[in-house]
A and B are shown apart, each in its own frame.
Chain A
Amino acid sequence: MFKSRLAIPFLILTLTLFSTMIARATSEATPAPVAGGLQASGSTAARIARGEYLVSFGGCNDCHTPWKLGAKGPEPDMTRMLSGHPQQLPMPPAPALPAGPWGWTGAATMTSFAGPWGVSFTANLTPDKETGLGDWTEEMFIATMKTGRHQGKGRPLLPPMPYFNLKGLSDEDIKSVFAYLQSIPAVHNKVPTPVDPEEPGL
């Protein structure tokens, strides 16, 4: 009698735990839904396609691809897609702004910005080994996006990079972005070191 009274709760508990474990395992194994109702898969092609979609929608080209004046007005120079601020374009000192609501200035290429943080230059995201992300790993890229620091350990990413929006992406999506960036043509372009505000005594 005692055994049978205990057995039913045990069975319920077991089934509950078992179904929870199965549900958890299933949810972990199920990729996040992606555009068009597709499921992201581990395959490289699917990853790259998903990454291209995210890069396009996320506006990465707005700053990481230099803009030029085309026939219809400003447009991204896709021959230098995602290669960051052009090394052939040294920037003169940023114009001093009067006190007031104007807070920052930007280059016509949309690749350099000056403000209270100093002068920032957009990074070369192409897989060039020496000047781009060619020697980065997926892990470094995730760490950078999640922490807002270079490779998760180094200097902070500078304005106007909206890493705080990207940190909400799933690891799977960030991996897709990285896979896409590693698949595009490498452009050798050494982006300048950011310029800090003047620092007395340095």
Chain B
Amino acid sequence: MTPSRRGASLYGSRIVQAIAVSLFLAAAVSASHIPAAPPRLLSETGLYAGKGTDVIDARNRPFSPQYPLWSDGAAKSRWVRLPEGATIDARSIDRWDFPAATRFWKEFRFGGRKVETRFLRKNGDGSWTFASYAWNEAQTDAILAPEDGLPNVAEIAPGKMHSIPAVTECRACHDSDGPVSGFSRTRILGFSALQLSTDRDPAAPHAEPLADDMITLRTLVDEDRLEPARPELVATPPRIQAPDARTRSVLGYLSTNCGSCHNEESSIANLGLLLKGQGVGAGRLRQGFGAQGFSRLVGQATSKWEIPHAPEGASQYVSPGAPDLSAILVRMKSRRPSTQMPPLGTVLHDKEAVGLVTEWIESLTTQE
């Protein structure tokens, strides 16, 4: 055997080939864990049946949270696709962990026209892909918006424009640990035990009708989509605990619109303002604020931010009987950048909710 033939034989040995194949496979597996870029067109995300955008794929199920997020009055539709046969890890009742390949869509319409559809996809490595699509003029499809967002895509009131948020802004609300540091604690804000409860709050601001085909907690339990099964969520559906109907609606609204950032697991928990209410009734839900919890807001001085022109030290989160000294309400009403709350995703204040919270604060007495 010549030296060259001996070399070829060595290269061709099973051991070397096995190492090569192993390394190749390892690299391939590693590459597959890099989150795939979202498709360029909404019609390529799997939302629709066939090639057009007329018919929703039957595997995508509509749902409606009982406390919708305020989106400047947009009409919204939402869909979820859970992979065939897969289950949601519901061991933590207020922090569901979705199976890989779960997809969510939310469509925003203003004046009857589709403006934006947001898309979330759980990747194989546990991360989530965030994307948003801007609808074209002909309303035939929507195109992937840049990561930095797309400003002023539709006029929604005189001089007020809707903008498609940047991915960092999406993550600011969806990720408990901030938009830059990780992805492991992404929340789906409208798809939780409380939001899908069958004990829906009929007085929730902007409450949407629940269509027959919409997913609720009952659907998920009946279809064995929760692991463990958690039948107690049907027997005793989660509900915001409150002494009266108005307080229930206020706390539910604040929980959705404020609590995704103001909660005990958030990177801003140090501010000491906890507005995420957990429904009670299924026995094992943690309390954010409830019968005792929300009283922590009432009559408490704000930790940092003070109401402009208010006497020093007079600013409270919720000042009983005094809407003008209640920082939560003042910030809900404002749409100036350094005052408005939520600080992003809205350019118009929510008149219905401002009215509800004003009435609630006026009804409170210092004893509560």
- A contact set with B: CB distance below 8 Å: 3-4, 6-8, 10-11, 13-14, 17-18, 21, 117-118, 120, 135-137, 139-140, 142-143, 146-147, 149-156, 158, 192-197, 199, 201-202
A7 smallest CB distance to B (angstroms): 4
Q: Indicate if the CB atoms of A143 and B180 lie closer than 8 Å.
A: yes
Smallest beta-carbon distance A199→chain B, Å:
5
Residues of B within 8 Å of A195, CB to CB, are: 308
B267 touches A11 (CB 8 A): no
Binary CB contact string for chain B from 169 to 188 against chain A (1 if under 8 A, 0 otherwise): 00011000111110000000
Contact status of A202 and B178, CB under 8 A, knowing A136-B270, A146-B168, A153-B267: no
The proximity string for B residues 325-350 relative to A, scoring 1 for CB distances below 8 Å and 0 otherwise, is 00000100111111110011000000
Asked whether B181 lies within 8 Å of A143 as measured between CB atoms, the reply is yes
Contact A17/B267 with A143-B179, A143-B181 known, Cβ cut-off 8 Å: no
Complex contact A153–B330 (CB within 8 A): no
Whether B172 lies near A149 (C-beta < 8 A) is yes
Give CA–CA (A21, B336) in the complex, Å.
49
What 1/0 mask marks residues of chain B from 236 to 277 whose CB sits below 8 Å from any chain A CB? 000000000000000000000000010000111010000000
Closest to A148 in B: B168
**Shortest distance from the beta carbon of A130 to any chain B beta carbon, whole Å:** 9
Task: Give the contacting residue for A14; candidates B20, B333, B344; CB below 8 A.
Answer: B20
Assess A135 versus B20: contact at CB under 8 Å? Given A143-B180, A147-B168, A156-B338: no
**Inter-chain contact B267/A140, CB cutoff 8 Å:** yes
Task: Tell me which residues across on chain A come within 8 A of B344, comparing CB atoms.
Answer: 149
Measured CB to CB, the closest approach of chain B to A119, in angstroms, equals 10
B9 contacts the other chain (Cβ, under 8 Å)? yes
Which residues from 101 to 118 on chain B have a C-beta closer than 8 Å to any C-beta of chain A?
A: none
Q: How many angstroms between the C-alpha atoms of A128 and B268 in the bound complex?
A: 17
Chain B stretch 45-59: residues in CB contact (< 8 A) with chain A: none
Q: Mark B1-39, 1 if CB is under 8 A from A, else 0.
A: 000000011011100110111011001000000000000
Expressed in whole angstroms, the minimum distance between the Cβ of A132 and any Cβ of chain B is 11
Interface residues of B (CB under 8 A from A): 8-9, 11-13, 16-17, 19-21, 23-24, 27, 168, 172-173, 177-181, 261, 266-268, 270, 304-306, 308, 330, 333-340, 343-344
Q: How far is the CB of A14 from chain B (nearest CB, A)?
A: 4
Task: Report the minimum CB–CB distance from B152 to chain A (whole Å).
Answer: 17
Q: Name the B residues within 8 Å of A201 (CB-CB).
A: 333
Instruction: Knowing A8-B11, A153-B178, A153-B261 are in contact, say whether A143-B20 is a contact too (CB < 8 A).
Output: no
Query: A135: shortest Cβ distance to chain B, in Å?
Result: 5
Question: What residues on A are CB-neighbors of B177 within 8 Å?
Answer: 139
Q: Is the CB of A3 within 8 A of B17?
A: yes
Beta-carbon nearest neighbor of B261 in chain A: A153
CB contacts (< 8 Å) of B24 on chain A: these are 10, 13-14, 17
Contact at B270–A118, with CB atoms within 8 Å?
A: no
Contact A156–B337 (Cβ < 8 Å): yes
A10-B21 contact, Cβ under 8 Å, with A118-B338, A147-B172, A199-B334? yes
A197 CB, nearest partner CB in chain B, Å:
6
| A-B CB contacts (within 8 Å), total count | 125
A89 vs B23: C-alpha distance when bound (angstroms): 66
| A153 in contact with B173 given A4-B12, A136-B270, A196-B338 (CB within 8 Å) | yes
Alpha-carbon distance between A140 and B11 when the two chains are bound, in angstroms: 53
Contact of A152 among B179, B308, B339, B340 (CB under 8 A): B179
Q: Which residue of A lies closest to B308 (CB)?
A: A195
Could you pull out 17 A-B pairs where Cβ atoms are within 8 angstroms?
A4-B12, A8-B11, A11-B20, A13-B20, A13-B24, A139-B178, A143-B179, A143-B180, A147-B179, A149-B343, A152-B168, A152-B178, A193-B305, A196-B308, A196-B337, A199-B339, A201-B333
Chain A neighbourhood of B334, CB < 8 A: 196, 199, 202
Q: Is the CB of B11 within 8 A of A11?
A: yes
* Contact assessment for B17 and A7 in the assembled complex, using a CB-CB cutoff below 8 Å: yes
Nearest B residue to A199 via CB reads B336
Given contacts A14-B23, A143-B267, A199-B335, 8 further A-B contacts (CB under 8 A): A8-B11, A11-B16, A18-B23, A140-B267, A146-B179, A153-B266, A196-B308, A202-B336
Q: Chain A nearest CB: distance from B226 CB in Å? A: 30
Least CB distance from A202 to B in Å reads 6
| A17 B179 Cβ-Cβ under 8 A | no
Find chain A residues with CB under 8 A from B23 CB: 14, 17-18
Q: Are the C-beta atoms of B267 and A139 separated by less than 8 Å?
A: yes
Nearest chain B CB to A50 CB, angstrom units: 20
Q: How far is the CA of A10 from the CA of B20 in the complex (A)?
A: 6
Give min CB distance, B139 to chain A, whole Å: 33
Q: Residue of B at shortest CB range from A195?
A: B308
A134 CA to B172 CA, complexed, in Å:
22
A14 and B12 contact, CB distance less than 8 A = no
Closest chain A residue to B8, Cβ basis: A4
Closest residue on chain B to residue A2 by CB atoms: B12
